Amino acid sequence: MLTARPHLSNRTAALFLALLAFFAALCLIPGLLEAQQPPETLPLTQVRPGMQGYAYTIFAGDQIEKFDLEVIGVLDNFLGPKQSIILVQLKGPKVEHTGVVAGMSGSPVYLDGKLAGALSLKLGIFTKEPIAGVTPIQDVLNPPPSAAAEIPSQQFGVSASASVGAMLPTGSALEPIETPLVFSGFQPATLQQFASQIQGYGLVATQGGTTAPSPQDGHLVAGDMAGMVLVQGDASINSACTVTAVEADRVFLCGHPFLNLGDVQLPMARSRVVMTLSSDLASTKIVNVAGSIGTITSDHLTAVTGKLGAPPTMIPLDLSLKASNSEKKLHFEIVNHPKLTPLLVALTTFNGLTQNPVYGESTTLHLTGEIRLQGHPAVEIENTFAPGDTLSPDGFPIALTMQNVFSRLFSNTFEPAKVEGISLHVESVPGRKSFTIESAWLEKGEAAPGETLRVRVLVRPYRGPPQIEETTVRVPEQATRGTTLRVLVSDGDLLNRASRGFAFAGVGGGPAGLDQLISLLNRERRNDRLYVGLFLPAPTLLWDDKELPNIPLSQINIVDGRPAPGSVQVLRESLASEASIPLGGPVSGVISLNLQIR
């Protein structure tokens, strides 16, 4: 009986050889095989001084490179109870030239061919040898519950015993490898205005750019770079660090916290390294942010973790600037997080305003806009800002105003503020338009209940002749004869405080819900108007966002005697009526007049 012998055609043989060559090439790519399946890990108990190992990172482009290292020792309980660190010395021409680089945090470290941890700490500055700390891999892949606790400091001192055991000079310190906060479309002058706040977050600001998204962005392996997106659009802010491991759709990176925010929902994006800048003070990677690849889900003491897939929704911010006959429109998207959004809105608004050919110094800026909230009325924004005599840019007060509004929204104790969008419009008028109240007078010093009086106010424009503005106030019918009323001529801020007390200042009594807070924000008086308020010598009860003037003292005693008075406040005067005069520029000053009721 004859049996047919299997044979390969020339075409099949060629395909077989091509596949062999392809898989052989895969074996030459550092870190790729480790990422295709859960890597074998090395327990901390098996780490010994003198062990030789290696790590992966990117110095330029997308080329993952390998560098050697040697274990110096293990620092037990270094970050906290049962939070140890492996101390290593990096070896090789590149790392000995650059030292430990900002952006290198998260680089996977292998000992005995097994994944032992993530590069996370560096030792001092101006050191002659690149000494680094490694977060054990068990803490990276399975952060303990205590990892969500707040870090007491961004810098961790090496104890005396650890210094002796590791043969380190006394006073040295291990600190987290800097996570570069990459600003694209931002000038250094912009960042200087917010430098103290950025540094307060423990971040290092660097300039970078963006690159076009690629279908390969989501194909991460150990040693690649990825990070958190904070702002994107016509300018961007993102962080970048190295990927430690990828397990299915889960990504582990950084080896230390970004901001220790705990459970989060931040966009995750691929980062592309342009080059590594070597510096004796602080070497860093210059990176471009690429396409979104998923969501950062947790930011804890021992690692940042993410999930590949769709990114979370961001807050759209539309900013338009109009000056003379030209107008510029910009669009941004900002993360929705109570600790980050107020600063990011301020920074992005300021940058979009000032780094704009339509913008010019020594101009009066009129801001209008709205903040749209899910399930609630919009917050209406309107104010005017005049140039000052300091070196601070004219647009900076607009940024601070937006930061203040968002801080009040996100710090409310009622419910999360779900912002659906922000629309801002800034109109620029050449010159400085501002006004100071110098004096005021009534047409007569006494009046009867129900009578209307003219009030004249002398205001002085900036570097201009004084001018007289006129309005009227009406004495209420219920005014008691023989009493003295107070006429307050002031700017909007002072009248807000006089009529809302501590509630306006954010102390003591205040709103009892988000709708009430929005109502309070929308009722705040504008700064480009001259206000005249008539106050009666009768108590006003402020309850949440409600003003109850002329309330009987007996009712005040009943309310104020409740077991939990809550947001109740009593003012000694009641605002009976008010009038305002728009002047087109910020107004400042106050005059108080007495009016006798006959």
Q: For residue 180, what pLDDT is reported?
A: 78
pLDDT tens digit string along 90-138? 999 888 888 888 888 899 999 999 999 999 988 866 566 788 999 999 9
pLDDT over 60 at 5, yes or no: no
Q: For residue 8, what pLDDT is reported?
A: 43
Q: For residue 307, what pLDDT is reported?
A: 95
Q: For residue 166, what pLDDT is reported?
A: 41
pLDDT over 60 at 264, yes or no: yes
pLDDT over 90 at 67, yes or no: yes
- The residue that leads in pLDDT, 456 or 512, is 456
Q: For residue 281, what pLDDT is reported?
A: 64
Q: How many CB atoms lie within 10 A of CB 51?
A: 17
pLDDT over 70 at 173, yes or no: yes
Q: For residue 27, what pLDDT is reported?
A: 46
Q: For residue 561, what pLDDT is reported?
A: 46
Q: How confident is the model at residue 199 (pLDDT cuts 50, 70, 90)?
A: confident
Q: For residue 392, what pLDDT is reported?
A: 81
Beta-carbon contacts of 447 under 8 Å, excluding residues fewer than 6 positions away, are 453, 475, 595, 596, 597, 598
Q: How confident is the model at residue 288 (pLDDT cuts 50, 70, 90)?
A: confident
Both tokens assigned to 521: 């924000």
Mean pLDDT of 526-548: 77
Q: For residue 325, what pLDDT is reported?
A: 79
Which architecture, in CATH terms, is 32-176?
Answer: Beta Barrel (2.40)
pLDDT over 90 at 296, yes or no: yes
Which range is least confidently modeled, 203-212, 379-388, 557-566?
Answer: 557-566
Torsion angle of the four alpha carbons 407, 412, 415, 421, in this order, in degrees rounded to the nearest 10? -30
Ordered by start, the domain boundaries in the chain are 32-176, 180-308, 315-430, 435-597
- The residue that leads in pLDDT, 88 or 497, is 88
DSSP string, 296-343: EEEEETTEEEEEESPPPP-EEEEEEEEETTEEEEEEEEE---TTTHHH
Q: For residue 182, what pLDDT is reported?
A: 85
Mean pLDDT of 283-291: 81
Q: How confident is the model at residue 22 (pLDDT cuts 50, 70, 90)?
A: very low
pLDDT over 90 at 21, yes or no: no
pLDDT over 70 at 591, yes or no: yes
Q: How confident is the model at residue 419 (pLDDT cuts 50, 70, 90)?
A: very high
Q: How far is CA 162 from the centre of its chain?
A: 36
Q: For residue 555, what pLDDT is reported?
A: 55
Q: For residue 286, what pLDDT is reported?
A: 80
Contacts 24+ apart (CB under 8 A), 121-125: 121/85, 121/156, 121/174, 121/175, 121/176, 121/177, 121/256, 122/174, 122/175, 122/176, 122/177, 123/168, 123/172, 123/173, 123/174, 124/172, 124/173, 125/280, 125/281, 125/282
Q: For residue 484, what pLDDT is reported?
A: 92
pLDDT over 80 at 20, yes or no: no
pLDDT tens digit string along 472-508? 999 999 888 889 999 999 999 999 888 775 444 444 4
Q: What angle do CA 359, 365, 369 make, to 5 degrees?
A: 105
Q: How confident is the model at residue 174 (pLDDT cuts 50, 70, 90)?
A: confident
- The residue that leads in pLDDT, 304 or 573, is 304
Share of the chain above pLDDT 70, in %: 79
Q: Which of 139-148, 187-196, 510-519 holds the top average pLDDT?
A: 187-196
pLDDT over 90 at 342, yes or no: yes
Q: For residue 547, what pLDDT is reported?
A: 60
Q: For residue 508, what pLDDT is reported?
A: 41
Which range is least confidently modeled, 177-181, 382-386, 454-458, 559-563?
Answer: 559-563
pLDDT over 50 at 525, yes or no: yes
- The rounded mean pLDDT for the chain is 81
pLDDT over 90 at 452, yes or no: yes
Query: How many CA atoms are closer than 13 Å to the CA of 444, on its beta-carbon side?
Result: 9
Q: For residue 97, what pLDDT is reported?
A: 83
Helix 514-523 to helix 396-410 angle (10° resolution) is: 150
This prediction has a pTM of 0.78
Mean pLDDT of 199-213: 75
- The residue that leads in pLDDT, 66 or 29, is 66
